[in-house]
Structure 1
Amino acid sequence: MSLFRSLPPFRADVVGSYLRPMTLKQARHDFEKGQLSAEDLRKEENNAIRASVEHQCNCGLDVVTDGEFRRTWWHFDFFDGLEGVERYDTNAGIQFSGVQTKSHNVRVTGKVKFGNHPMLEDFTFLQSLASGAVPKMTIPSPSVLHFRGGRDVVSPDVYPHLNEFFDDLVQVYRDAIAAFYAAGCRYLQLDDTVWAYLCSDEQKQLVRERGDDPDELAKIYADVLNRALEGKPEDLVIGLHVCRGNFRSTWISSGGYEPVAELLFGSVNVDAFFLEYDNDRSGDFRPLRFIKPGHQQVVLGLVTTKTGELEEKALIKARLQEAAQYVPLDQICLSPQCGFSSTEEGNNISEAEQEAKLRLVVDVAREVWGDSQA
């Protein structure tokens, strides 16, 4: 077994979003009130990202992100930048456990295309700061654009048949992968709540009530992902993060990975799966038996971002050994279970607690796999 990895995902990795500093929250507030120009807001974002990247490196990480500091949501901002997609207000926000988000969604109103996406420039700025670390770009997975609203958020005038929409969605992500690669990206993460929803009896029932078959949707989404990944450059690492919802320390879905494990782990050709395993709602490690042998990695999110209480090292190590009963330890990495701030509001955790969590992940990885992480 090797003691380190020369390519991402690293033994100590992250999902990607971080708590927004108060200076940035104030700048965004001033911008929304018309008291700050877009140019000045960009400068504040740049300053915050610069400080965050330095902080991530100081924590011992070999991977850095921009913390998603330019976004209000982990997914809507990316979809906003696509051609043929628009954001709109809904009657109610997304219902989490005991709390609702702002009332937003996105819908397809024209032919979807990647185009000249503004996040390409965002990645270029991150890359300029990365120094010796590997910059990771995070974007939502293609299934996220369809799942929440289904047929209702895809214009039947533009796409009379949904298979035409999925074909175009495949091309959008092929173009996105090519564009980020051309910009210098070698580590891309697709964030996906849908696979976790397809493990939830409650969420699957909601899908049936709107007239969709959750099992058929799973097959469609797996096919879209695999077609989007066809022909990707060999030196580009693409991971898929499966999330059960992360808003102000709350969640949406419950259920282990078993209902989708064979299809997801056994057939979707990403290089790494980032999996939440920070509580009982995530189930046991048995579904990991479907992880393909070889280069494919599974990044276990054993450190929660939802509370500030610090996990015990011994417990994390014990859980890593438990997971190694189903997939070799050499194919396992460690990370927080999700980002610390999937939306601009952030989780109910302090910046000091966030730092402690990052350092814990790094320390445990070094003790389990060796000192060298990259």
Structure 2
Amino acid sequence: MTIHSEVIGSLLRPAYLLEARRQVETGQISAATFKALEDRAVDEAIGLQEVAGIEVITDGEMRRASFFGHLVDALEGFDPSGGRRLPMKDEEGGQFFAPTPVVVEKLKWRRSMCAEEWVYLRARRKGPLKVTLVSAQPYYDPQKSREAYPSYDAYLADVVEIARREVQELRRLGCSYIQLDAPQYASLLDPDIRAALRQRGIDPDKSLDLQIACDNAIIDAQPGVTFGLHICRGNNQSKFYASGDYEPIARVFRQTRFQRFLLEYDDPRSGGFEPLQHVPQDRFVVLGLVSTKRPQLETAAQLRERIEQAARFFPLEQLALSPQCGFASTMEGNSLSPQDQQRKLKLVAQVARQVWG
């Protein structure tokens, strides 16, 4: 897939959609009315990307309350907010603790996680399209999940089976590009988090090997689909979770079967481009150089210079450009305006055309 500009997935939710979600949850509007407003928001998200000139289009994740919303909505067995609370922070010292899901019962398939998103998107726009699918690997807790699954391995066996079923359904419906969002890898690149894991008796490198094996099992023998892996360091209301370069998890590049790696590179917290030397030369690396956390607009010259720096470690023709993460991994969105978002998307497309034609 020779594509040089794309978004990561989510876009800012319009105010009317946020209000409609509140109203449907309190019974003030019907599910049918809410669905029509979701459709309107998706149409607008598609139009925004088309006008900007982005090559690969998503639905903006408008139908999700968060990037993992499709997981907890479609599968039985999760407590949507009963998991570990992640400390989300910023460079100014601000912090809050974000709730995460946790499995508390055996997972059961209620409906497809992404079929509705894909079918609607496919009907609205021709050309390169993408569906984002969250990894369920992080949502096991040894205490809270043990009654449902006596071991993490038992949980992962069901995760792989369900994820493969989802991919097969998307393939049947004509989807040819699936991005897996894998927040669990972020904890394995941060030196402080790695040390904390060891204190809890968890070997970060063994965890990495297990997660790689799980992801490979999900995408193995699924012909006709390009699989992308998105690895960022947390993204919730302009705050992050982890810091550090990709070197501690470089085995992900060498050992997984993903064809595209969508990586966060928008600030010094992300480290240098040296780990790109570990990426096989038949893959693509999508450089997340444009921040979705800050309203300040990067310049085309800055982005071109950064791309040139990355090309010292990986072939230029196998590189691409994107924002560093979604603009709204949760429905609250990051601290920038729709106008800021539009300018950043246009810049991504503009620089991609300048660099790659």
TM-score when scaled to structure 1?
Answer: 0.89
Residue 184 of structure 2 corresponds to residue 191 of structure 1: no
Alpha-carbon deviation of 1:88? 4.2
Supply the distance in 2 between the matched residues of 1:220 and 1:245 (Cα, whole angstroms): 21
Alpha-carbon deviation of 1:221? 0.1
- After TM superposition, the structure 1 = structure 2 runs for residues 121-270 of structure 1, keeping only pairs within 5 Å, are 121-130=116-125, 132-146=126-140, 149=141, 151-155=142-146, 157-233=147-223, 235-261=224-250, 263-270=251-258
Supply the distance in 2 between the matched residues of 1:145 and 1:288 (Cα, whole angstroms): 29
* 3-state SS of 1:164 partner: helix
Q: Deviations over 1:3-61 (max 9, x none)?
A: xxxx36x2011101000011111111222222111111111101111121122111112
Alpha-carbon deviation of 1:304? 0.6
* 3-state SS of 1:305 partner: coil
Q: Deviations over 1:157-213 (max 9, x none)?
A: 443233222222221221111011112211111111221211112222332343322
Supply the distance in 2 between the matched residues of 1:108 and 1:293 (Cα, whole angstroms): 42
* 3-state SS of 1:134 partner: coil
Supply the distance in 2 between the matched residues of 1:65 and 1:145 (Cα, whole angstroms): 25
Q: Deviations over 1:77-121 (max 9, x none)?
A: 32331243342446x8432012325545222411x3545325312
The share of aligned pairs that are identical, in percent, is 36
TM-score when scaled to structure 2?
Answer: 0.94
For 1:68, the aligned partner's letter is: E
Q: Deviations over 1:200-229 (max 9, x none)?
A: 122223323433221111110001011111
Residue 49 of structure 2 corresponds to residue 56 of structure 1: yes
Partner of 1:362: 349
2:15 to 16, 22, 47: 22
| Unaligned 5+ runs, structure 2 | none
Partner of 1:95: 87
Supply the distance in 2 between the matched residues of 1:165 and 1:41 (Cα, whole angstroms): 34
2:303 to 316, 320, 326: 316
Alpha-carbon deviation of 1:64? 1.3
Q: Is the 8 A contact 2:114 2:133 kept in 1?
A: no
Structure with the larger RCO, 1 or 2 (CA within 8 Å, 6+ apart):
1
Q: Deviations over 1:217-270 (max 9, x none)?
A: 11100010111111011x211101001111111111100111111x11111110
Q: Do the aligned partners of residues 213 and 162 (structure 1) sit closer, same or farther apart at CA in structure 2, a change above 3 Å counting? A: same
* 3-state SS of 2:170 partner: helix
**How many residues are aligned here?**
353
| Unaligned 5+ runs, structure 1 | 1-6
Residue 339 of structure 2 corresponds to residue 349 of structure 1: no
